[in-house]
Amino acid sequence: MPMLDADLDQFRRDTRAWLEANCPAEMRKPMTSDEDNFWGGRNTKFASGAQKVWFERMRDKGWTVPDWPTQYGGGGLDGARTKILREEMAAIGARSPLSSFGIWMLGPALLKYGNEQQKMEHLPKIARGEIRWCQGYSEPNAGSDLASLQTRAVPDGDDFIINGSKIWTSYANYADWIFCLVRTDPAAKKHDGISFILFDMTSPGVTTKPILLISGKSPFCETFFDNVRVPQSHVVGTVNRGWDVAKYLLQHERAMISGMGGRDGGRPLGQVAADSLGADDQGRLDDAMLRGQIASFDIDEAALACAAERAVDLAKAGQLHPAFSSAMKYYGTELNKRRHEILMSAGGIDALEWESERSHDGSRARSWLRTKANSIEGGTSEVMLGIVAKRILDLPGA
């Protein structure tokens, strides 16, 4: 409808002007390390004045979560306006003002399964970056086979007493609260006796122990629960039906991780490679094999962007297959691994520098190694392919 288009055009102009006036120049540069992310939380610190200004301005407009309802701290934008905001942010390379498992994972699950009290309690704090969340799903013997989890929650009056341990809990040592899967009925079939529960990481009996990654960083932990007392009212959804909440949250987690395949304001690979390898007399990257790899990568990256856009439209129309996020997660993370392989090839031997000012403390090599985990976290590539075979393609024997 022409009237609607005019409204959207006006919204685009207003948004562009607002971003131009409010997004500091420093916040328009590609991120180079995890420190460039602002994660929020009780003990958070801003990496720079510009990061603080940018976060606070976006928070005050509700644009840390533009599409959440305003009563929960969001911007109340519809799908079309949210898309315009994202496009205009991408056009100037604006960084996301807040990185948050609360936004990417817990929020959508609470919006669908939480009761009103839980929504009012937790969503505004997520939107305002006041509470940082971690995800307590995986256990030493429950990764791909997540429903085998053994962490027990036993009723005691109005509370549960929780005992057990989680592993690979990203940022558990920085998180304020955890969304956690616990077994509440050990006699039931394994998917049927699980509950999804929220609790404060400062509760007596919760401890964390960081684990080192191959990249030399330590972004995740073993997490232990020793007689942790949690009110039963902290269960999201129905007791013993936590698997429904868990699966729904995983769809959002996988969609978020698939976004790693996108360039997100970074420079095109061809330009990065040309900086170190130079151009031939026709102005083309001076390495035919790498040129071919980059061209093929660029095409696949464009295909991922189209598929992501289609997924958004299908979701809006209520027609998105629930398992589509698995296809996107598989493709996006394999693509991100390829991107970093190419970046390493383009950088030659210098790209392997590990500790130096010139290499920004080995950021290229460390990022390359970190991508190896992309096709494991949130469900492995093999498991994603299994889900696509079974649930989308309906292949015999899958």
Ligand X SMILES: Cc1cc2nc3c(=O)[nH]c(=O)nc-3n(C[C@H](O)[C@H](O)[C@H](O)COP(=O)(O)OP(=O)(O)OC[C@H]3O[C@@H](n4cnc5c(N)ncnc54)[C@H](O)[C@@H]3O)c2cc1C
The residues binding ligand X (CB under 6 A) are 134-138, 143-144, 166, 168-170, 220, 373, 376-380, 382-383, 386
Shortest distance in whole angstroms from residue 354 CB to ligand X: 20
Between residues 89 and 178, which has the closer beta carbon with respect to ligand X? Answer: 178
The alpha carbon torsion through 213, 215, 217, 221 (nearest 10 deg) reads -10
Shortest distance in whole angstroms from residue 168 CB to ligand X: 3
d(CA 353, CA 177): 37
Between residues 33 and 356, which has the closer beta carbon with respect to ligand X? Answer: 33
What residue has token string 């809006």? 316
Shortest distance in whole angstroms from residue 230 CB to ligand X: 17
Between residues 135 and 184, which has the closer beta carbon with respect to ligand X? Answer: 135
HSE-CB for 21 with a 13 A CA cutoff: 7
Residue number of the CB closest to ligand X reads: 143
- Give the three-state DSSP class for 362: coil
CB 285 within 8 A of CB 273: yes
Between residues 41 and 136, which has the closer beta carbon with respect to ligand X? Answer: 136
Give Cα separations from 174 to 78, 177, 367 (angstroms).
33, 9, 21
Show Cβ contacts of residue 127 under 8 Å, excluding neighbours closer than 6 positions: 59, 62, 64, 65, 68, 72, 73, 74, 103
Between residues 16 and 217, which has the closer beta carbon with respect to ligand X? Answer: 217
Shortest distance in whole angstroms from residue 392 CB to ligand X: 16
Shortest distance in whole angstroms from residue 101 CB to ligand X: 7
Between residues 47 and 214, which has the closer beta carbon with respect to ligand X? Answer: 214
User: Integer distance in angstroms from the first to the last C-alpha of the chain?
Assistant: 45
Shortest distance in whole angstroms from residue 298 CB to ligand X: 27
